[in-house]
Amino acid sequence: MSVELWQQCVELLRDELPAQQFNTWIRPLQVEAEGDELRVYAPNRFVLDWVNEKYLGRLLELLGERSDGFAPSVSLLIGSKRRPIPRPVQPAPSALPPPASRPVAEMPEPAASEPTATDSRADTGTAASVPPVRTERSVQVEGALKHTSYLNRSFTFENFVEGKSNQLARAAAWQVADNPKHGYNPLFLYGGVGLGKTHLMHAVGNHLLERNPNAKVVYLHSERFVADMVKALQLNAINEFKRFYRSVDALLIDDIQFFAKKERSQEEFFHTFNALLEGGQQVILTSDRYPKEIEGLEERLKSRFGWGLTVAVEPPELETRVAILMKKAEQTKVELPHDAAFFIAQRIRSNVRELEGALKRVIAHSHFTNHPITIELIRESLKDLLALQDKLVSVDNIQRTVAEYYKIKIADLLSKRRSRSVARPRQVAMALSKELTNHSLPEIGDSFGGRDHTTVLHACRKIAELRESDADIREDYKNLLRTLTT
């Protein structure tokens, strides 16, 4: 009962907070009732202190308001429902239960797309139980694994431009880089494409190497992990695979959403992950969405990911886009006038990768024609891109612009959430899609998380009505129309 009450208060708080704050601090909390008491668990000290300082007061207030003076007492602890860590606080890794050494009969079937292990018994042990025998096969596998270790040396903290959209992610990454034993393990960075997740992850790796050039820092894309594992299975060398991954000081895996539905890889990764966390080795993961929202990922993995720190990287606002362009120009020793940077940043809003691509084109054009960078030159060099953008108002584009305007996440627009802070922008985005594109109502509904066409119709009517009666919505709609069409 009191757990439900807590959940209701959390939902109310969700409406009061920006999505990024809610996802970072409130979402990882777990709660259970112990007699009259509510025990709320934070995954680490960082989260606990922050919640205590910033949000607990408000949550207690909400609890008080809804419980007729009989509010349960609340203790904020570090740990999780199943295994709270007694104070004094230890870093998260030591709190993890040992990886299960499970009998062969319990092994899940390999996913259809992945080959079967010739000897699956080899896959049940932990790193410690694997005898360190070097065979020809192991040399082959280790050879194949070596290429995973390269980091992009230019992805450093110095080269990363900080702005509101990535401030928290940068701070968390810096904590991990500068103080790896702090216990923010794993560090989980999530957000849309081209927003700097890989950059930050490499920045941590580069910093760790700077501090200790002998550190074994391994970076790889999750598809590489899957491919390497498949190869190891084919070569009947899964032990070498295990040994390699469990011997690293830091394991950086990009885009882990690609693990979805690959059960055998998830199984292997789960054990590797546990072994690393137990050994106090750092794990950093990225994904295009919040871990709990990755479909086809095992619950136990999702829940383990929450043991460390999960932080969003949002699309940069205009000021940050300008600063990024200025920084990139400076790195390439090119003079970029501020108004030119501003012009590009205003037109290219999607992500940093596209912003960089546009700048490269402008620079190439300037070299080629031997003319300085001016707005005129930019118009000329990005002619096709700008013309296309002018003509093409896509639903994607509308969602991105609306999300940016209301400072919410695109994922929120597509989600089932019904709180006003998300539902109204969603209706605005639907109405704009109807007005500015040729898509039908069912198509628009589909693009908004598979909604029914009647929902879109209702949104269009509601927004038309509000544009008459509500000055704020009228103004918002006008601004958005202008942004999307000029």
Q: Which residues are annotated as a binding site for ATP?
A: 194, 196-198
- Token pair 């003079």 is found at 335
Stretch near ligand ATP under the rule CB under 6 A, chosen from 95-103, 301-309, 348-356, 358-366: 348-356
Least distance in angstroms from the C-beta of 253 to ligand ATP: 12
Among 84, 125, 194, 357, binds ligand ATP (CB under 6 A): 194
Contact of 111 with 270, CB cutoff 8 Å:
no
Q: Does 352 bind ligand ATP (CB under 6 A)?
A: yes
Q: Does 171 bind ligand ATP (CB under 6 A)?
A: no
Among 3, 139, 193, 387, binds ligand ATP (CB under 6 A): 193
Q: Does 198 bind ligand ATP (CB under 6 A)?
A: yes
Least distance in angstroms from the C-beta of 329 to ligand ATP: 12
Q: Does 349 bind ligand ATP (CB under 6 A)?
A: no
What does the per-residue mask of binding to ligand ATP show for 244-283, with x meaning CB under 6 A? -----------x----------------------------
Least distance in angstroms from the C-beta of 299 to ligand ATP: 24
- C-beta of 256 vs 459, nearer to ligand ATP: 256
Least distance in angstroms from the C-beta of 62 to ligand ATP: 35
Among 41, 46, 55, 160, binds ligand ATP (CB under 6 A): 160
Least distance in angstroms from the C-beta of 209 to ligand ATP: 18
Q: Does 356 bind ligand ATP (CB under 6 A)?
A: yes
Known binding-site residue numbers: 194, 196-198
| Token pair listed for 374 | 């001016």
Among 195, 336, 386, 429, binds ligand ATP (CB under 6 A): 195
Among 23, 46, 180, 199, binds ligand ATP (CB under 6 A): 199
Residues 6+ apart with CB under 8 A from 349: 315, 321, 400, 401, 404
Among 197, 242, 349, 409, binds ligand ATP (CB under 6 A): 197
Torsion angle, alpha carbons of 343, 347, 353, 358, to 10: -60
Dist CA 265 CA 253 (whole Å):
13
Least distance in angstroms from the C-beta of 161 to ligand ATP: 4
What does the per-residue mask of binding to ligand ATP show for 136-155, with x meaning CB under 6 A? -------------------x
# chain residues binding ligand ATP, by CB under 6 A: 18
Least distance in angstroms from the C-beta of 324 to ligand ATP: 5
- C-beta of 224 vs 462, nearer to ligand ATP: 224
Least distance in angstroms from the C-beta of 221 to ligand ATP: 8
Q: Which of residues 211-250 bind ligand ATP (CB under 6 A)?
A: none
List the Cα angle 258/82/266 in 5-degree steps: 20
Q: Does 357 bind ligand ATP (CB under 6 A)?
A: no
Binding site for ligand ATP (CB under 6 A): 155, 159-161, 166, 193-199, 255, 288, 324, 352-353, 356
